[in-house]
Structure 1
Amino acid sequence: MPILQGFEEVNITAPITKMTMTVMDTRVRFNKATAIALGYPAYVKVLVNDKTKQVALEVCTGRDANAVKFSKPEGKQTASVSLKDVTLVATIRKFFTLKPAAESEDSYAAVPGRLFPDQHVVVFDAAEAVAGTMKRRGRKKVVKD
């Protein structure tokens, strides 16, 4: 149609929001955007590169060696994904120096991720980490007299 010559259709698919890995003393958390970007995988492999201080998530099946349970299916994954395996956390944690935090706070390092959609992989580079502290969530400790 000549009247629409030069016009381009607007792509209305939602862009992928910022993927973030948050490293704390006892867990590593991946925001919901990371699960969305990878297609809500039930399992991933966590890979590390000691030389470049990078962490990668690769989609896999539950039968693969070192597969880690990751996301619920689309529509059921309502929050971030926390991994608490001691070995996994210690392996990733060594790339970061967390600040000392007050008793009611948690120290963390937040790292943006880069998606490689054709390979179903997200890479997080420790060099891009932003450190900080946040108030603890959940139940408060009861102090007895």
Structure 2
Amino acid sequence: MALLQGFEEINMSVPTGKAVMTVTESVARFNKATAADLGYPAYVKILINDKTRQIAVQACNAKSANAVKFSKPEGKQTASVNIKEAVVLEALHKYFELPQASEGEVAYKSVAGTIHVEEKVIIFDIDAATSGTMKKRGRKKNA
């Protein structure tokens, strides 16, 4: 229709927050907003573009090749999503050089993602990652 040429529809799906990926030595953590923006998929594919230095997280199903277990259903996912698969961490660590952390702390790299709702993909720009350290979580070891 020539009358509406150049117009774009207003996208009615509102992002729930900033999708953030945090990489530490032992886990790749995605905040709850990441799961929500992807539609709480049970499985995702994690893709790496070496040339553009970007990581994409794409919703998929359990039968997809290289599917990684991700989120619980909406309402059941109460916290961030943790991926601890050695293969995934090894691939990510090639791009995220972690700073040294002092005793009792954990080094991390954190980066916000760009959401592509229609494709159910979030893209994280590796070069935009910020470094930091945080206190170790969990039980304290007895001395």
Please, what TM-score do these two structures have when normalized by structure 2? 0.88
Which residue is equivalent to 2:85? 85
Report how far residue 14 of structure 1 moved: 5.8
After superposition, residues 1-145 of structure 1 pair within 5 angstroms as 15-143=15-143
What is the alpha-carbon distance in structure 1 between the residues aligned to residue 79 and residue 141 of structure 2? 24
Gaps of 5+ in 2: 1-12
Give secondary structure in 1 for the equivalent of 2:91: helix
Identity of aligned residues (%): 52
Q: Rate the CA distance shift 1:117–1:15 in 2: closer, same or farther, 3 A.
A: closer
* Partner deviation per Cα, 1:97-137 (whole Å, 9 max, x = no partner): 21100120000000000001111100001111010000011
Size of the alignment, in residue pairs? 132
The 2-side partners of 1:96 and 1:64 are apart by 26
TM-score (norm 1): 0.87
Q: SS state of the match for residue 36, structure 2? A: helix
CA displacement 1:21-47 (0-9 Å, x = unmatched):
001111100000000000000000010
Which residue identity lines up with residue 58 of structure 1 in the other structure? Q
Larger radius of gyration: 1
Which runs of 5 or more structure 1 residues have no equivalent in the other structure?
Answer: 1-12
Q: Considering only aligned residues, what root-mean-square deviation do their CA atoms show, in Å? A: 1.4
Deviations 1:65-100 (A, max 9, x none): 111110000010000001001111010111112110
